[in-house]
């Protein structure tokens, strides 16, 4: 059994048990690879408290120059495709190559209760306790596509803590997974053989974004069907307009359960990264993602300010009550409320 405690020193443990820390203490802990302080810093990012947001912003400024050096991989696929099993086998394979791996596992949030399962650590039993791995389950919240609102910031914190590969596992519910495509260097789609045609429309949209497809669970009686499915998907991908001049999406088969085909997946990713760097795409893609990140952050900040405003809270409650009675136009009231908010002060 591995122990993450080997990475901690006693002063760091004592520091982490204290109350509120300064930004510099968080920064130092993250840069030293202290996982307790890394986890606490990520909790600051996820907090909706304005005081936590300010502190998290200061920490972000302090670690930013030490981030951006990892390979960012997005992994998605429909529920039941074996994402957690694959990520564990894949992560352990990368560790054997001397790399440190962070997994940001997005769990679906219930719209009814607001809760989420956050069970990825139990599904990745070996990887979750490895001293060269870090798994952070995160509720998806209300973000479209199943990607947590603060995943980008969390990714930068993990990079600054020294992780070489960042894996972002999405919910994989078939809703605009472009969110994870826009924050990673490589987008991997896990598929199943014989899953039926009922999801073809969803598959097509995601397939067009994928840099590689892997048919998982290619073992036992499913091995030959998986190989046939791989050939079919490979033919289908060539009908799509190419996303890059230097790359056609590759299709392979894999049995994460038996650890077969995992190395080929990493070789594909490494090949893509090297070619994208040679073509200048890698850096340009990161720059484009930063601009999109800025705009999405701007929208989120405005949303927070609006909903946290005490006057707006009262107005929203009043309008909501009247809407329930059918006395108002939702669109007109929304427009009026935004105009009122913009004219404040």
pLDDT tens digits along 302-330: 888 899 899 999 999 999 999 988 878 99
Mean local confidence (pLDDT), 27-56 = 92
Q: Among 160-174, 195-209, 228-242, whose mean pLDDT is lowest?
A: 195-209
Does residue 9 have a pLDDT over 50?
A: no
**More confidently predicted of 122 and 146:** 122
Strands (E), 271-331: none
Residue 282: pLDDT above 90?
A: yes
User: What mean pLDDT is reported for the chain?
Assistant: 84
What's the pLDDT at 197?
A: 46
- Where do the domains of the chain lie? 4-64, 67-278, 288-342
Structure tokens at 242: 């190419």
Beta-bridge partner residues of 116: 109
Report residue 172's pLDDT band, with 50, 70 and 90 as the boundaries.
Answer: low
Query: For the domain bounded by 67-278, which CATH number is listed?
Result: 3.40.50.300
Helix (H/G/I), strand (E/B), else coil: 235: helix
- Between CA 146 and CA 138 the distance in angstroms is 10
Report pLDDT digits (tens) over 62-115.
999 999 999 999 998 877 889 999 999 999 999 999 999 999 987 665 444 444
pLDDT in tens, 116-138: 444 455 578 899 899 999 999 87
Please state, in angstroms and as integers, the Cα–Cα distance from residue 225 to each residue in 51, 161, 217, 218, following that order.
Answer: 55, 42, 10, 8
Report pLDDT for 241.
83
Instruction: State residue 139's pLDDT score.
Output: 66
Q: Are 225 and 194 within 8 A, CB to CB?
A: yes
Phi and psi at residue 72, to the nearest 5°: -105, 120
Q: How confident is the model at residue 140 (pLDDT cuts 50, 70, 90)?
A: low
């Amino acid at each position: 059994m591995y122990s993450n405690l080997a990475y901690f020193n006693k002063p760091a443990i004592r520091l982490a048990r204290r109350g509120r820390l300064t930004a510099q203490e968080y920064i130092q802990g993250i840069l030293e690879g202290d996982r307790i302080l890394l986890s606490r810093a990520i909790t600051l990012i996820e907090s909706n408290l304005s005081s936590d947001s300010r502190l998290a912003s200061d920490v972000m400024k302090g670690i930013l120059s030490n981030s951006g050096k990892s390979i960012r991989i997005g992994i998605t696929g429909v529920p039941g495709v074996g994402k957690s099993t694959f990520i564990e086998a894949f992560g352990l394979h990368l560790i054997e190559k001397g790399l440190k791996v962070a997994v940001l596992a997005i769990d679906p949030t219930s719209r009814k209760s607001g809760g989420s399962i956050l069970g990825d650590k139990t599904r990745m039993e070996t990887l979750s306790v490895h001293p060269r791995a870090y798994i952070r389950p995160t509720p998806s919240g209300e973000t479209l596509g199943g990607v947590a609102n603060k995943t980008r910031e969390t990714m930068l914190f993990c990079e600054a803590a020294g992780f070489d590969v960042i894996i972002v596992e999405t919910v994989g519910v078939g809703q605009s997974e472009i969110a994870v495509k826009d924050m990673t260097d490589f987008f991997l789609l896990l598929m199943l053989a014989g899953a039926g045609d009922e999801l073809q429309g969803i598959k097509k949209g995601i397939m067009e974004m994928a840099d590689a497809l892997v048919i998982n669970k290619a073992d036992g009686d499913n091995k030959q069907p998986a190989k046939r499915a791989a050939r079919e998907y490979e033919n289908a991908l060539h009908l799509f307009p190419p996303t890059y001049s230097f790359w056609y999406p590759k299709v392979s088969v894999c049995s994460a359960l038996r650890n077969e085909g995992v190395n080929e997946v990493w070789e594909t990713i490494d090949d893509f990264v090297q070619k994208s760097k040679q073509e200048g795409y890698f850096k340009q893609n990161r720059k484009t993602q930063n601009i999109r990140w800025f705009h999405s952050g701007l929208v989120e900040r405005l949303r927070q300010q609006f909903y946290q405003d005490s006057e707006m809270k009262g107005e929203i409650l009043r309008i909501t009550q009247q809407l329930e009675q059918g006395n108002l136009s939702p669109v007109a009231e929304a427009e009026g409320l935004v105009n009122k908010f913009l004219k404040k002060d």
